[in-house]
Each structure stands twice: as structure tokens, then as C-alpha cells.
Amino acid sequence: MSLQGLHFPSRPPFPPSAAPRASRPLNFPAYSRASRRLQLPSCPARGRHHRPLPDYNSRRAPRGLRLASAAGSASRDSRRGSRGCGRAGVPPPSPSPNRLLPPLPRRIWGTPPSKKTPNMEEVDKILIHSLRQAGTPVPPEAQSVRDFSPELVVEAAVRCLRAIRPALGAPLSPLLPPGISARFRLASDLAAACQELGFGGDVGYQTFLYSSEHDTRRLLLFLVEKLPRDESERGAEPPGKSGVLLRAIGARIREQLGIPWVPPACRTPQLQRLQGTGHLYPFTTCPLVLPQSGGPPELQEYFGGAAPPVPAQPPLSTRTPPALLETHAAQLSARHDWEAEWGGPGLASRLPPQEYVGRKRLRARLRALEPLRQVCPPRPQGPPPGPLDSTWLQEAFGTGGAGGALPKGSRFTRTQHLTHEQDPQILLQQIQVAAETLHPSKSSEEDAGARQASEEAALEETLARLEAEIEGCRGEVRDAQLSLTQVEAEVRQGRLTLGAREDALRLKARAVELLPDAQNNMAKLQLVVEASSRRIVSLVGQWERHRGPLLAEYRHLRALRDSAQLESSRRLSEIRALHERSRSAADEARRKEELYKQLVAELEALPRDISRAVYTQRILEIVGNIRKQKEEISKILVDTRALQKEINSLVGKLERTFSVTDELLFKDAKRDEVVRKAYKYLAALHENCAQLIQTIEDTGTIQREIRDLEEQIEGETSAKPPASLDRILSDCRALREENALLAAQARHT
């Protein structure tokens, strides 16, 4: 339910936007109908705090068209008694009388904030319910906005801002910091965020830290109105745990994006370890053998017992995630390819999947054997069965002959021929099987199946042999790597030994060079030793000069460390006390949770028709009050427009009369002295009337400002100023203490 449209009998509605106070129109003076002067229509009885209609014309009217309320025509008591009619203002006419801007009602408040009504209690209940739905933990003892603390107001505002515009509320903390300056910064940021959302009232740090009940309710109502009402405003989010996870991830990403980026060299050591590249590894994959469903029993037995687990198959643990990702990507790609192929030519063939795959495999085999048919020479005449001639095989495939390599053939056969030197007997068997497949017209389906089986057996045997060779090569590579590591260690050790021996050799060579002139060299060395001794003495003196200040600083730092240890021990005791309090609070929360479950069970047992009927009756009353207020506002608007039209016509008639009189007197003013004096009197009268109108306008403005100040005084008086003053004084004292502490720290440093 939208709180914007809730209007109660004693409190007129408040529209979503309100004009500033400076744009209030001026009141009209009262005139007599008998003398063709203006008089306001009778105003129905309204609340004391009714606001006048705003002035939506940004330009001021000409001097002769401006009207204001009569200054000092009524005393303060009479003004308060007839404030309903006296403050009903009409905006001044625009420069174009034919185009009238319809006046709009501005925000209207019924009773002053100090007077708590049952309607406001219902509004507060709805407001608290909306805040709880937005995620604000409003305590049960807070039954109205008057019970809200500054911490709760700040948390509610931040939660609403995050729900309305996450980018605007993510950098703000829902908890008030302990420091006074940090509190002022957070409150100022909240005020700026509310103004950015379009809040039209006065908002600042005092709205959150030292706010009154009226200002707090107004701000929270604005924020609750801005909350998204349905899933279309919140955005399409998947339901369930996935939606919660996505929202948590999005909130975490927004929080990280709100933090300023710091270069890696400027981060703390812990962040460098956590966010650095030291724990990253290259994306290196390796083949994995995954268990398969189906197949021969031997294969299933292998997967069930002898097969190593998947994490143990890679040689290094860092290759396990890349290998799993690559295997999963390959399986996913194969699955997508099969779905795409089966959805197109597979369904068009009208064959079962197994038969379609078998025929496709047979076609691939025939395409692979086609190059063999092209390069094989005609077989010599002889008995069809029996082993093949090795001379014919060497001539056909170039195994050891002058041919060297196949001129044509499949990529698999060329790679196998170039990379592996196969045994002639095995090659003979393979070629025999391949040659038997060259005459499909002379064999039956059974012979083709037998040839395929023999070919598969030969290929499996070759595959097993190649796998054994690969494993042997891997073992040799591992042995070679171990040997290489040992040799590198020995080389490093030898280099270190060689460096030490070279240093000793240079020292001995230098000593040998000094032997021919030993006496002179000894004298020079003595001089060098004495100079070194003098330099050591001077360095000792310098060290003693520097040692005193350093020792004093060390003692000062040690005293600071002792005081810090005392402070840490004190805080540790406070933390232990807080832990005890948290445990007691947890016990209390469990007790209240049990009580809550009991109350919920009792609530479910109660009949539900009573509350619904009460709320239905209340809604009907609200709708009736809204209809009455709408009719009243429409009536006032109609009277205001009629009065504005009458004012425009009278002002136009007055201007035309003045223009005609001015022209007539100006024509005869040059010839007649009496007419000249009359013209001067007319000009003076016009000027005096303009000054009188200006004075009346200024007086009306001053009266409105006086009434506004009186309302502000009443609001501040009803907002419990002693409590706000106590909070302000305590914050001021805390701020002075913080400033003194910072000044002391600055003096010490």
C-alpha cells in the first residue's frame, strides 16, 4: 500500500512535491462588493496549519498589477482565529491575461507534529512495517517514529537507499561510527544522497543526528515511497537460493567497485599476499581418464579398482583444475556438436542413433583408406589367400626402399610412418588387413565385419604398445630431470668453491707482488693501519654523539609501547565483557524467539475476519475523507480562478482608464495651467498608489515570514529540544576531546 495517498480526516493530503516557502503568493486585501472592489470568497473551515497555494509564475507581474495582503488590518489573535481564510492566497496574474496558470495545492499538513493522533500512529505502524520489509531491524519496543534513535534513522535511510538505488547506497555504512567527525561525514553524505533522489525538504546532517519526529517521519515517508513496489521495478531476479546468491555477489561486486584502487606496491603485506600474483599458476593441462558407464566388464573392473582417482592423475596438483576445466569443455563441446548434428542430418536420415553413428564411422574409415587405394600398386597374380609378399609391401609403402615416404595418404598414416619405426611383422599384419579391405565387392557382410574386428584388434595392440612406450619415455624424462637437478646443484656448489679459491688466489698473488720491496710496503701498510685506527676513533665519537638522541627516543618509544600494552589489556577486558554481553544477548534472543513462535501460534489460532473488517472500514473512511478533501480543493481552485479572472479584468480596466486620462490631460497640459496641475496630481497619485501597493506587498511578505517563524518555533518546541540539546552538547564535548587528543598526538610526533 502506498503511503503517499493515505489521507486521514484530521490531516490533509501531502503531494509528492512541494513548492519552496519563498514562492508563496501574497494575500489579497479585502474590498467591498458595493464599491466594485475585490473580496475573497468564503473559505471552508480548515486546519490551522494549512499552507497557501504556491506561486508557479517565475516572473513578477508589472508594478500596477501586484496585489498584497493588507498590512496590520487584524491583530495577531484575530489573524490566528481566521488563518484558514486569511492565508488562502492567489498567485499573481501572468503578463498575459488570456493564459492563466492553474494554481496547484502544495504540501498541506493538518495537526502540528507535537500533537500525536491515532491516525499518525497508524501511519507509523505502516511505516515501521515497510522499513522491516526493506531490511531494517526495527526493535519491537519502537512503536512510533518518536522512539527512533539516530542510529536507527541512519540505518533505515541507508537500507532504503540501497533498495532504491544500489549504486547510491552501497558506499554508505548503515552503522553510525563512534567518532563525531565520522558521524557528521556520514550524515552529510546521507543528506546529499536524499537530495539526489529528489527530496524537496530541508535536509542536512542535523536531520539524522538531531532530528525531530516531524522531520524524521517526512524523510522516511519519502524514502518508503521511493522503494520498488513489485518485481518489475526490482528487476528480473531468479527465485530461490540462486537469486539470493546473485544478489550477494552483486552487492559484493558493488562494494569492491566502491573501494578506491590501490597500486600493489602501496598495499599492506597481508593484502600483497592475498591479492598478489604469487599464488597464481600457469594454465597447463594434462589428459585425464574419467570413469565411463558401459563397456566391457574388464574396463568397469579397472575403473572400479585399479584406476587412480582423478585428482591423483595429474603430475602436479596445480594442473588438476585446468585439466578438469579442459575435459569438461571438451565434453560440453562434443555434446553440443552431437545435438546440432543429430538435430539436422541425423533426424533427416531416419535412423536410430546407434546405427547412424556406426554408418558415420564406416564412412570415415572408407575415407581414410581411400589414399591407400590410390598409392597401392596392382597385386601380383597368385593365390588370393595367404601372407603378403614383403617385396610388394616395400615397393608399395616404401619401408626401407628408395621411396622413403608415401606420396599420398591420410595424415594419420603419414604421421605414424614418420614418427614410429614399426616392426615389419606388425606392419605386414596391418597392411594385410588394409589390403583385404580394398576388395569390398568380393566379400560379404560377414567378411567385412571380421576384417573390421581384426583391424580394431591390431589398432588396439598398436595403441597399447605406444602407450607403454610413452610411459617408458615419461619415466626416462623424470629420471633425466632428477639427474639434471643433481648436476645443477653440483655445478652451483663447484662455482661457490671456485669463487672462494679465486679470492684466496688473488690475495696470495697480491702478497707475492709486495715481497720484493717488503720494507717500504710494510711502512705503507703501517700508515694505512694508523689511518684506519684514527678513522675508527672518529667514527666512535660520531656514534656516541648519535647514540644519546637515539637512546632517548628508544626509551620514549618503549614508554609508548608500555602504555599501548596497558591500553590493549584494557580493551581486551572490554572485549571479554562484550563477549559476555553478546552471549547473554544471544540467550535473550533465543528466549524471545521461542516467545515469538508461541505468539505466532496464538495469532494463527485467532479468527482473521475481525482485523480485515476493521481495516476495510478504515480504508473506506480514508477514501471518503480523500473525496471530501478533493471536492474542497476543487471548490477553492474554482473560486480562485474566478477571482483571478475578475482581478485581471479590473486591473486591465484600471490601466486603460489611467491611459485614457493620461492622454487627455497631457493634450491640454501645455495650454491650461489647471490641467497641468491636474496632470501632476495624477502622476503623483499613481506613484503614491504604486508605493502603497509595494508597501502592502512587503507587509504581507513580512506577515507570512512571521507566521512561518511561529510555525517553526512551535515545531521546534514540540520536538523535545532539551534532548536534542543534550545530544548536541555531548557530541560537542566528545569532539573537543578528539581534537585535544589529535593535538597531543601531533605534538608528540
Neighbours of 621 (CB within 10 A): 12
Distance between CA atoms of residues 506 and 306, nearest Å: 63
pLDDT for the residue 375: 62
Distance between CA atoms of residues 583 and 142, nearest Å: 23
pLDDT for the residue 56: 35
pLDDT for the residue 370: 75
DSSP state of 346: I
Distance between CA atoms of residues 62 and 311, nearest Å: 89
- 11 beta partners: 8
DSSP 31-44: --TTTT---PPPPP
260 vs 120, 176, 187, 741, CA distance in Å? 44, 21, 21, 29
- Using an 8 Å Cβ cutoff, are 369 and 434 in contact? yes
**Sign of the CA dihedral with 78 first, then 79, 82, and 85 last:** positive
**Of 87, 93, 125, 128, which is closest to residue 109 (Cα–Cα)?**
87
39 vs 483, 519, 645, 652, CA distance in Å? 114, 131, 13, 18
Low-confidence stretches of the chain (pLDDT < 70) are 1-119, 230-244, 276-279, 372-445, 606-612, 718-724
502 vs 395, 411, 491, CA distance in Å? 66, 59, 16
3-state secondary structure 68-124: CCCCCCCCHHHHHHCHHHHCCCCCCCCCCCCCCCCCCCCCCCCCCCCCCCHHHHHHH
- Using an 8 Å Cβ cutoff, are 247 and 162 in contact? no
- Give, in degrees to the nearest 5, the angle at Cα 171 between 154 and 731: 40
Distance between CA atoms of residues 72 and 79, nearest Å: 10
- Using an 8 Å Cβ cutoff, are 317 and 311 in contact? yes
CATH 1.10.418 fits 118-229, yes or no: yes
- Helix (H, G, I), strand (E, B), or coil: what is residue 8? strand
Distance between CA atoms of residues 51 and 424, nearest Å: 109
Length of the chain: 749
pLDDT in tens, 388-400: 455 555 555 544 4
Domain ranges of the chain: 21-106+612-718, 118-229, 297-455
DSSP state of 11: B
H/E run at residue 681: helix 673-718
- Using an 8 Å Cβ cutoff, are 54 and 24 in contact? yes
Neighbours of 41 (CB within 10 A): 14
- Helix (H, G, I), strand (E, B), or coil: what is residue 584? helix
Burial class (CB in 10 A: 0-12, 13-18, 19+), 425: exposed
Distance between CA atoms of residues 445 and 435, nearest Å: 16
Q: Which long-range contacts link 436-441 to residues 24+ away (Cβ below 8 Å)?
A: 437/369, 438/369, 438/372, 438/373, 438/376
Q: What is the pTM of this model?
A: 0.31
Find all residues with CB under 8 Å of 647, minimum gap 6, and list them.
28, 38, 67, 90, 93
**Of 543, 25, 501, 1, which is closest to residue 225 (Cα–Cα)?**
1
**Of 23, 48, 175, which is closest to residue 115 (Cα–Cα)?**
48
Find all residues with CB under 8 Å of 625, minimum gap 6, and list them.
7, 8, 9
